[in-house]
Amino acid sequence: MPAKVVVFSGNTHRPSKSRSLAQSVLEAAAAQIALDAQTFDLVDAGQGVGAFARANLPSGAQEIVEAIESAEALIVSVPVYKGSYPGLFKHLIDFVDPLALADKPVLLAATGGGLRHALVVEHQLRPLFGFFSALTIPTAVYANDGDFVDGVAVEPVLQERIRQAASQFAASLGARKSQTADELAHTF
């Protein structure tokens, strides 16, 4: 059975390099393991995503949060603005149940205007998902504007990093599926 994966891109417009990067990672992972993927952009959350209570979120935002919570694994890609991910991305993640991502594989990716934003993945995203006790994949993917041509990630070193991260993600999902099967086998 394919692994249920949610791809969440923190972009606020389309087309988006963050979405394109997330799609590239998803395709590389899907070439290695069967995936049932659902993709969302932050812009899908709709107006009103800044609500103060989960019950007051618009239906688009509710759908994203519920999909994230029920996924077996996540691919998260964000644009970097002024040294961090978008505030509304964080706001939406704040509505995710603190236990919902425990022990789930999460592949982290980000895009930015230049190399000075490259550590956002390590200094912002990894600690955020660490709070949730998620299993962040060791290799993260960062791409800057020069890595894209017509919105597609084409730079060879970036392509190799995508393959490496996707391979680790697929292996993590495979191990998780195997562990789940072993646990089920021991219950009968």
Q: Can you give the residue ranges of every domain in the chain? A: 3-185
Q: Which two tokens stand for residue 133?
A: 């006790």
Inform me whether the pLDDT recorded for 58 exceeds 70. yes
CA distance 38 to 28: 15
Q: At what angle do helices 156-185 and 17-30 cross, to 10 degrees?
A: 50
Contacts of 110 (CB under 8 A, 6+ apart): 18, 77, 78, 79, 80, 85, 117, 120, 121, 125, 140, 141, 142, 143
| CATH level 3 topology of 3-185 | Rossmann fold (3.40.50)
CA distance 21 to 66: 23
Average pLDDT, the chain: 94
Q: Tens digit of pLDDT for each residue in 92-151?
A: 999 999 999 999 999 999 999 999 999 999 999 999 999 999 999 999 999 999 999 999
